[in-house]
Structures are given as C-alpha cells and as structure tokens.
Structure 1
Amino acid sequence: MLSNTELNWWRGGVIYQIYPRSYFDSNGDGIGDIPGIISKLDYIAQLNVDAIWLSPFFTSPMKDFGYDVSDYRNVDPMFGSLHDFKHLIDEAHQRGLKVLIDQVYSHTSDQHEWFQDSREDRTNDKADWYVWADAKADGTPPNNWLSLFGGSAWQWDTRRGQYFMHNFLDSQPDLNFHNRDVQDAILDTARFWLDLGVDGFRLDVVNMYFHDESFTDNGLADSPEKVFVGVDPKNPFCRQYHINQMCRDDNLAFLQRLRSVMNEYPGTTTVGEIGAPQGMKYMAQYTSGGDKLHMAYTFELLNDAHDPDYIRKTIQKVEDNLGDGWPCFALSNHDVVRSATRWGQDAKDPDGFVRTALSLLATLRGSPCLYQGEELGLPEADVGFEQLQDPFGIEFWPEFKGRDGCRTPMPWINEAMGGFTSGGHSWLPVEPIHRQLAVSEQTKVDESTLNFTRRLFAWRKEHPALQNGDFEWLESDPALLVFRRTNAQETITVAINMTASALPTKVEGQAIPVPGFTQTGSDTIAAYSVAAWVH
C-alpha cells in the first residue's frame, strides 16, 4: 500500500523534460537515443528533480519527429529497443526518478496500420477510426477548418474518395474519438506502457481529441479571448475561433475513462498540454473533481509577454479558475523559443534574469517542468534555413523559424560537437554559444547557472510550503512579484525582482537565504534577485 506522499508525488514534483533526439548520442549516428539518456541519469538526479518526461521515441516515419506515431507500442530503432527502454525505467527508479512519457493520442502517422486499413474503403472494421468527410458539391473540403501547419485541415484521399482531417501535417490524420473502439484501443495503449512500468503520461494536445460531428465552420477570432494561444499570431490558424474543431465537451467523459485506467496503477499521473483559446478554462475543466487529468498546463507562460503585470495577472487567473485542480508550469519546451531568449533577450544581466526566471518556476504553486538545457541557461540556437528540419519552420520561414532553435543538441563538453556525439555530424547543428555553456564548463564554476539550479531545487525540497502550499499575491511595487506560500508546516513569502533596478519592499518575517542570491537590505530587493522570509 502506497502512502499518501507516494501516491501524490506529482503534486509539487519537479519534472525534467528530455527531447531524446537531442540529449545524448551513444552510438555516433548523430541522433540521441535511450542508452544515451541512461548514461546521463546521474546528472539528471543531481538536478534534484523528481521525474523525467521523454518526448516521443515510438516507431515513426519522423515527418514530425515522433509526433507522427506509426506504432504506439514499440521504440523506433533509431532510439533503441523496448529492452533499452525497460532498462531506462529500472535505472531511473533506482535513482528515485519517476518516468513519464509522451502520448500522442489525437492523431497517428498515415503509416499506422490503423490508417492503412481505414483508407481502403468505407466498410472495413477500421473505416470509422479516423475523421472522414465527403467533399462539398464543388469538390472543396467539407468546412473551413485550418491546420496549424498551414492550409486546410483536410486532405483528399483518392483511394477512399473522401477527405480526412489533420490538425497538423497532412501525414498526421486525426483519430475519431467519437468511435468507442478508438477510445478502447488508446486506453489499451496506455495500459501497455503502465504495465511496462512508466509512472505517467504527458498528453499531447489533450484538448484536440474530439471534433464537432456536424463539421460546423469555425467563426472568426474577433476578440482576444477567442485567439488560439500557443501559435505564432502571424499564422492564419489564429484568425479562426476553433471551438468546433477542438475543445469539445465530449472530451470530459474520455478523460474520466483514462483516469479510471490510471487509478488501476497507484502513484501514476497525467499532465495534459492545452493549446487553445481560453486555455485557463480548459485547464480548470480537465483537472477538476479528481476524476480526469492530474495536472495540465497551457501556453500562457510560454509566450513572449513577460512583464511583471502580465505574470501576476496570468497566475491569478490560474488561481481564480483552477479550483481543486493542479497546474504544471513550464517556461520552455520543445515547441517554443527558449525562455532565456524569449523572455530575457533584453535583460541587462542575462544570467541574472535566467536565475530569477528559474526561481519563479521553482516557487509558484504547481509542478515545475524544466526543459533540458534550461538548467544551463541556454539561449535559443540560430539555425539557418538550409539546416532546418522542422516542417513547421520550413513552411512559415522567415517570419517564423520553427522549433529547431530550441531542439539543438545538449552541450556536454566545450568542443566541436559539444560532446553530444562521437560522430562527425548531428541531426541539428551544435550551437557554438551553447558549447561555452556546456555541462563540463559549468560544473567546475561554483556560481554557474547549472550549480545554481541544483541548489535551487534542493532548497525547494527543504520547504514543504513551496511544494504544496497555498498561493496568495501580496501588495508590492508594481515591478516586483511578491507572494505567499502557506501550508500546515510553514509560511514563506517570496519576492522576485526580474528587472534591472533595485526595488523597494517591506515584508515582515525572518529572512532566509535563497541559493544564489544575497539580500542586501530589509527594504530593497536588488536587480535580478530573489529574497524569502518565513513567518
């Protein structure tokens, strides 16, 4: 019987996201792999995180780098084998690390056997497993829905003589979750990995499982609350209000079915990605009641706005809307420009800014998600058009350069290939600036961002209020972020100054040291600094 702490480790647990292609290449082919991750588990454990989340490593043609799955129950050979993955689980668990894996349920690759069967004709047993629709009388698609990756969300299939729906690439057909057999197959997939020993799932685009079966046209995103959050606003996709294409209430019953499966495996968890208009609404809806998702995160802190007023209002929206749900916060991931650049590019002290941003992530109410390289303070890499791999970036270049800049190889040592591979090439180029910030360079500097991150998350573990305490904003200078975290054991007030100027503050309580920062006085907070008090 697991204790309550063991069952609910995810409430306040720190998650470290790994993009397997870019973490460590163990065999010299230029692509990161599962044995490479295993070799770095000691490094990960030293970050004082509680879990790792692996982006997709399943069998795939890799047109969207693993988010186009052709076999949900196997490892793509470029990453290793199922045996390697089981070894990773065992090694991670020996170090006290939980293992979460990406699950891409909304769509498959067009190479998946389910789709190959479905497109054969309109009467086979998988005919209704994907979203198919007849053309309009003039031959055009059934409605105006758009793909995030450009153009219509519909692709004509000559074999079946119908259009199929795709929210992403036309090689990523959407599954039809209105079909109970599809739901059952997906839940069986979840059980497969849970039986193998994983501790939970990150659910890709969890709000996109269902569509309006009447195929009603999308309206215009004619007010701010109707604009899709998580995509470059220049993308035509953002001009529509996608309430018919996704975010359907039908999803709630399926999430309850999924939660029932998770409950068969005590101590496991789910975190859902929500890219949507009014993301807070769905974040609350999907995590309320303890019978759907355990956690969810939206893109409100993964965009360009970073001024203190925006952060304050955004977090307050979470607090006002979430109720009994639980948030997961990230400042960077594999889909957005790294936070050191996206938020901190104009900072007068870039290193100081990175550390205050990491401190914000570590002290908010919720479960922090740290993206690989964030602990090194890596800025966005500069990937030229001729080196791009991301189909999203290739389609929208140059206004949007895609996601390759945050996916370049992890720098382990300061040499040409960054210690990422023993071969002479890597699937994306190693950013020269990153080599100077390599793990080997930062490990030997006591005050480096890497060593700061290690101490920051160790400090977080020492304070229960930071892991699961309530959250309350306090009055302060408008440019300063001051909040209180409270649980039965302690009350902590945190003040974060993400600006280039010292700011006045007045907080009662006993000052406590925050790793990496020196509080110079009781009435001011230094530029790019963090202070804390206990009560």
Structure 2
Amino acid sequence: MQEWWRDAVVYQVYPRSFQDETGDGVGDLMGITRRLDHIAELGADCIWLSPIFASPQADMGYDVSDYLAVDPLFGDLAAFDKLIASAHARGLKVIVDQVLSHTSEKHDWFKQSRLSRNNDKADWYVWADPLPDGSPPTNWHSHFGGPAWEFDPQRGQYYLHNFLASQPDLNFHNPDVVDAILETCRFWLDRGLDGFRLDTVNYYFHDQKLRSNPPAQVKPQVMATDLYGMQDNIYNKTRPENIGFLERLRTLTDQYSDIMMVGEVGEMGRRSIEIMGEYTEGTNRLHMAYSFAMLGPDFSADHFRSCIEGFQKGAPGGHPYWSFSNHDVPRQVSRWAEYAVNEDSMARLACAMLMSFEGTIGIYQGEELGQTETELTFEELTDPPAIRFWPAVKGRDGCRTPMVWEKDAENAGFSTGTPWLPVKAPQAGKAVDSQGDGSVLAYYKDAIARRKSSPALSGGKTKFISLPEPILAFSRVSKEETLTCVFNLSTEAHTLQTKGNVDILHGNEVTLDKGKIALAGNGFAYLSHGADFTITSS
C-alpha cells in the first residue's frame, strides 16, 4: 500500500492569520478547527501548522520557549487535541512546524546555559571565546542582519544565532541535546500528530573547529538583511553530521504508523536541490524535503525543469515536495506579476503547473483565492528584519495578513477585534464567499480533484520535452495513462505544432486546430494522445 504522503496535497496554515475565535485579533487553534471544512472541501490531504508552541513571539513562534506547551495565544493542549480529532474525522492529516535548530533565549535550557561555563546545560548551546581582539569567533552572518554571534557578558563568551540574537542555536554535537530534542518530538507523536515540517533542517550542526567561511564562488545576490550570499556557507550549516541526526529522527518516527517528515532546506539555487536529494535518499532519512528553489523570482521553463531534473538525478530514490509559496516569501501572484496577463491568469497557471508536478504538493493559505501581497506602511509592520531595514526591505508581513472569509464582514470575517496585521480592500475582495463558479477557488478545487483522479498526474514519471522559452513542456507517464503538459510562461501568444492523435483534456486560453496548439498569454493544456504523438515549436 502506498504511503499517504506520496501524492498528498499539503495545505499550510499560518495560525496567527487563519481564524480568530477569541476576538483578540490573533488566529488560534479553535479558529482553525472551525474552518477545517474549507480545507477538506478544497481537497487537501494534510494540514501543516506553522509554530504553535510557547514562545515570546519575537519571530512569530520560530523562537520556542517550551517545546511541550501550546502558546496561550493559540489555545492549550485541549484545543490542540480537539483540532487533531476534528481533522482526522474529516480525513485530514496534521503536521506541525518543529523548530529544532534553535530556541528562544527565554527557554529554560538557555537560561541555565548562560549562567556559567560549568553547569549541566553549559554545553547545550554553541558558545565560543572572543578572538584576541574581542571580535566574534568566525565571520558567519545572521540571516536577520549583523554577525551570527552575540556576546554574553555573564559567561564572557559569544553564542551562535543564525537568526535573531534572541534565537540561540542549540549544540547538536552534544548527545544530551539530541536526546532531549527527540523526546520533545515523541511527545507530539504520542498525542496523535501525523508528522513534522522541520524548519531550517540543514542548520542543526555547525563546524566544531569554528572555521570561517570563504567568499562566495559565484556572484552573490545580496539583500540588506541577508549577507549569507557573500559567503560560501560550508561551515555554518549543511554539515555532514546532519545526516546522522535525520536518521535518528527517522528511527523515532518509524516507531509510529503513517508518519511523515518534510524538511525545509534553507538554501537557494542548484545546491538546494542537491541537499534535498541527500536528505531524502533511501528509506532512513526524511520522507520529503523542499527548498526555496521555486519560491524565488525565477519564472522560466529552464528554471522549473532544472529544479525537477536536478532532483531526479540527485536522488532517484528520494521524494520531492514542491511549493510556490509559504509564509516567508511574497505571494506567487505578486512575485511573478511581470509574467502575468492578469492576477487570475497567473493564479490558474501556477495552480495548473503545481498540480502537474511529480511529488507531493504544498499550498500556502490564501493562494487558492489568488491572493496578492499586501502593501503595508512602516507603522503596520511586525517582522523584525523589515522594521530594522525599512524601506530597503519590506519583510514577510505582506504574505502573512489574515485569511479573508466574508467580503463585507468586519475584517473580512477573520476577527471581531483589531487584527494583528490589517485586512485591506484588495485582499478582502478575494474573500472565500465571493468566489463562486469560475473563480480561482473553484479552479483549485477542480485542479486538485483532477490530479487525484489521474494516474499520470498523481503518480506518473516525468519526462521533459525540449521546447524554446517560454514554453515548459513534459509528459507524465503511468501504466494507465500518459499526459503531456504544456505551459506558456509569458504574456505573449505562442503556437506549437503536433503530430499524431491528440486532444485537450484540460486547458485554459488554448485552442487546437489542424495539429496546431495556440496558447494565449499564460495559456496551458493537459494533452491526451497516442504513442505516435510529438510536439514541436512552430
């Protein structure tokens, strides 16, 4: 029997922004439970919850202060248990973000660790002496600006933080830390959780010799918040010891039935695809991994092909997870606007592409509405790097604004209080109750159902067809069915020539006449055909 996750559609819920039941302006577990029917009716198989654990919320829950408690902002363990039971009753699996590479500085482990150099938790975090001139031990950068080291006067040492200074990195070279982390994971599995989304999965281990990174070998793309690109990050992440930890974590999850782990590879470019392959190869590491390779501005046939073929070559026995959006990047409709005829045409094109990819599929809340990035003023920001580097950096708040349910209701039905981020008119205009027949939401429902009913789309192998830009083309082949998928990734019309018997099984802005397939801007088609079929550019 095939594992449930292999052809699953995973729906990411950002708890702060999904549904507020208490009226405090912040979404919660009760609100998610109330809106489960929306996810089930969409056709999703699994819900991924962004962090819900106890946290001071300096980085919106990615700074955990207690791995075994639900943050009161979202509810309590009883609310969590009810959510799990309600989801399971609808046939939905639930996974939760596990932020294991670092904790909050408010975690009891770190409070004890920073007290002295010789207590029981002294070596639970990454501590190092200053260099003779007082500077940090290495040249490593923090993703949120400045060095990845913070000096602590109490210990007279620096501690490592890859993100905020209030997010100290755990020392995974200490076996006691690994054992403790594994026990926190067991706690949630025992409560009926169906798996984990592992945040920054390649950041667990650091180089024990504390060697500085060399300069980047390729021309860096530097952002105001992120100088990582100026270095070849070989010592501060993706260390070989990571594999051993993933194998231990897999051993734990294999003690339970139907568990799935998907790791977030914090890397860009071709190297990210290689790491995905390494981390999913065989049956004793991650079940799946995804990277930021498809979450950036690149929108070309060559880019998408290189991502998928790179994974095929790098991990023929692994399993990919593809997504176009999440809580860390601008929404896809806005991110790829320069390639769009209009917002809805890009929303449909992106959906059709994603649902045709081999592997597991991820959808971020609101994408099924064709949602766009929210434009915010400085006074409305909550994201730390945006506040620090405004206006050069707009931050991540624009994709995190609340889900919109009712177009004409207060705050579009999200909350009766003041939302933690504003609901603005362009976003409210895409509310669920305004999306009837022919809408983007209706298209997503149909597309997911089509994928599930098609042996080729849900489980077929992928073989690419070389056509000039901007046409992405490939076949999906199963024992029962062969389909060829073609997508026009531009606003200009393009015509393709076919030979053999062919029909348009599904498409948008496409016509077939006398062997010519005419694709309008953002047009696409799933083609059914015989063995003699060929397709070429005109």
Scaled by the length of structure 1, what TM-score is found?
A: 0.95
Distance 1:94 1:512 in 2: 37
Q: 1:432 Cα deviation (Å)? A: 1.4
1:114 corresponds to 2:102: no
Q: 1:110 Cα deviation (Å)? A: 0.4
Contact 1:476–1:505, Cα closer than 8 Å, also in 2: no
Deviates more, 1:503-512 or 1:170-179: 503-512
Deviates more, 1:411-420 or 1:313-322: 313-322
Distance 2:502 2:338 in 1: 34
Contact 1:297–1:328, Cα closer than 8 Å, also in 2: yes
Q: 1:55 Cα deviation (Å)? A: 0.1
1:252 corresponds to 2:240: no
Name the residue aligned to 1:218.
Answer: 213
1:532 corresponds to 2:526: yes
Name the residue aligned to 1:404.
Answer: 397
Matches within 5 A, 1:14-25: 14-25=9-20
Distance 1:24 1:464 in 2: 35
Distance 1:267 1:409 in 2: 32
Matches within 5 A, 1:340-355: 340-355=333-348
Q: For 2:506, what is the secondary structure of its paired residue?
A: coil
| Structural RMSD (CA) | 1.6
Q: For 1:45, what is the secondary structure of its paired residue?
A: helix
5+ unaligned residues in a row in structure 1: which ranges?
Answer: none
Contact 2:13–2:364, Cα closer than 8 Å, also in 1: yes
Distance 1:360 1:440 in 2: 25
1:469 pairs, out of 433, 457, 460, with 460
Whichever residue aligns with residue 467 of structure 2, its letter is S
2:492 pairs, out of 485, 498, 501, with 501
1:511 pairs, out of 503, 510, 527, with 503
Contact 1:34–1:80, Cα closer than 8 Å, also in 2: yes
**1:175-206 deviation line (CA, Å, top 9, x unaligned):** 00001111111111111111111111100000
- Aligned structure 1 segments of 4 or more residues deviating by more than 3 angstroms: 231-234, 506-510, 515-522
Contact 1:452–1:515, Cα closer than 8 Å, also in 2: no
2:331 pairs, out of 335, 338, 351, with 338
Q: 1:345 Cα deviation (Å)? A: 4.3
Distance 1:329 1:49 in 2: 14
Q: 1:311 Cα deviation (Å)? A: 2.2
1:29 pairs, out of 16, 24, 32, with 24
Contact 1:477–1:504, Cα closer than 8 Å, also in 2: no
**Measured at CA, do residues 55 and 234 of structure 1 come closer, stay the same or move farther in structure 2, by a change above 3 Å?**
closer
Matches within 5 A, 1:183-332: 183-223=178-218, 232=223, 235-276=226-267, 278-332=271-325
Contact 2:406–2:432, Cα closer than 8 Å, also in 1: yes
**Measured at CA, do residues 95 and 240 of structure 1 come closer, stay the same or move farther in structure 2, by a change above 3 Å?**
same
1:126 pairs, out of 96, 121, 130, with 121
Contact 2:386–2:395, Cα closer than 8 Å, also in 1: yes
1:90 pairs, out of 78, 85, 102, with 85
1:422 pairs, out of 416, 419, 443, with 416
Contact 2:100–2:199, Cα closer than 8 Å, also in 1: yes
Contact 2:105–2:167, Cα closer than 8 Å, also in 1: yes
Whichever residue aligns with residue 312 of structure 2, its letter is E
Contact 2:13–2:47, Cα closer than 8 Å, also in 1: yes
2:376 pairs, out of 376, 380, 383, with 383
Distance 1:232 1:489 in 2: 48
Contact 1:470–1:486, Cα closer than 8 Å, also in 2: yes
Q: For 2:413, what is the secondary structure of its paired residue?
A: coil
**Measured at CA, do residues 122 and 368 of structure 1 come closer, stay the same or move farther in structure 2, by a change above 3 Å?**
same
Distance 1:133 1:248 in 2: 18
Matches within 5 A, 1:146-185: 146-185=141-180
Q: 1:94 Cα deviation (Å)? A: 0.8
Whichever residue aligns with residue 56 of structure 1, its letter is P
Q: 1:284 Cα deviation (Å)? A: 0.8
Whichever residue aligns with residue 419 of structure 1, its letter is G
Q: 1:320 Cα deviation (Å)? A: 2.2
Q: 1:316 Cα deviation (Å)? A: 2.2
Name the residue aligned to 1:73.
Answer: 68
Deviates more, 1:136-145 or 1:316-325: 316-325
2:133 pairs, out of 118, 130, 138, with 138
1:395 corresponds to 2:395: no
Q: 1:366 Cα deviation (Å)? A: 1.2
Distance 2:508 2:54 in 1: 43
Contact 2:295–2:324, Cα closer than 8 Å, also in 1: yes
Q: 1:346 Cα deviation (Å)? A: 4.7
2:449 pairs, out of 416, 436, 458, with 458
Whichever residue aligns with residue 291 of structure 2, its letter is T
Contact 1:477–1:503, Cα closer than 8 Å, also in 2: no
Contact 2:196–2:261, Cα closer than 8 Å, also in 1: yes
Distance 2:519 2:508 in 1: 13
Scaled by the length of structure 2, what TM-score is found?
A: 0.94
Q: 1:307 Cα deviation (Å)? A: 2.2
Distance 1:447 1:473 in 2: 30
Contact 2:225–2:389, Cα closer than 8 Å, also in 1: no
Distance 2:459 2:142 in 1: 39
Whichever residue aligns with residue 402 of structure 2, its letter is P
Name the residue aligned to 1:369.
Answer: 362
Distance 1:282 1:235 in 2: 21
Distance 1:517 1:390 in 2: 39
Distance 1:358 1:162 in 2: 50
Distance 2:79 2:312 in 1: 41
Distance 1:120 1:21 in 2: 34
**1:340-385 deviation line (CA, Å, top 9, x unaligned):** 0001245223211210111111111111100000000111100111
Contact 2:126–2:160, Cα closer than 8 Å, also in 1: yes
Q: 1:517 Cα deviation (Å)? A: 6.2
Contact 1:412–1:419, Cα closer than 8 Å, also in 2: yes
**Measured at CA, do residues 123 and 419 of structure 1 come closer, stay the same or move farther in structure 2, by a change above 3 Å?**
same
Distance 1:148 1:77 in 2: 28
Contact 2:506–2:527, Cα closer than 8 Å, also in 1: no
Name the residue aligned to 1:433.
Answer: 426
**Measured at CA, do residues 474 and 206 of structure 1 come closer, stay the same or move farther in structure 2, by a change above 3 Å?**
same
Whichever residue aligns with residue 113 of structure 1, its letter is D
**Measured at CA, do residues 233 and 348 of structure 1 come closer, stay the same or move farther in structure 2, by a change above 3 Å?**
farther
Q: 1:119 Cα deviation (Å)? A: 0.9
Distance 1:477 1:281 in 2: 26
Q: 1:125 Cα deviation (Å)? A: 1.2
